Amino acid sequence: MIRAATATIVLALAAIPAAQAQTRADEEAVRNLPQAFSAAFNKHDGHQLAQIMADDIDFVTVGAMWLRGKPDFEKYHTRIFNARFHGIKIEVLQIAVRFLRPDIAIVHWSWTITGDKNADGTARNRRYGMMTMVAEKRSGTWLVVASQNDNSVPGPASDVEGITLPMSIPDQLIPGK
């Protein structure tokens, strides 16, 4: 009976999610993904940007285009950096990381962008947004396996009144804030 109870307790403890079992190095590597993305983005280097992506990346652009695979991700970013995103600069504002398992994490990060152009070549105003990345540790390296990038809709956001948002965006006017 005691053996059965001990086995039950051991199994129950083993079933506790290991999401907090990641190392400090893993936490730093995952937190660095937005910085690495921004550094390559600001160099306008599609190849360098693709290096933090998994070969099978699923990436939804801020323009709602779904890119699948590292070759198409790199090709797309190289093209936009040589065209309307030639003068673009991105800045990381806030980063939040949540480990789902020791080898999988979700990264939410807010950003601001200046220097980009509309399709017709006219300058755009400063934009704000948020990117969500799913990162996976593969062969000892943290890579982005899926990502969605979203523009913020500036102005009043009365539909979130009374809701606590984990990360704020500067151009959103939240009631009571």
Which whole number is the average pLDDT over 70-86? Answer: 94
- State residue 157 phi and psi, 5-degree precision: -125, 65
pLDDT value of residue 161: 75
Specify which residues 143 forms β-bridges with: 136
Mean pLDDT of the chain: 86
Domains of the chain: 18-154+165-173 (3.10.450.50)
- How far is the C-alpha of 94 from the C-alpha of 73, rounded, in Å? 24
This prediction has a pTM of 0.81
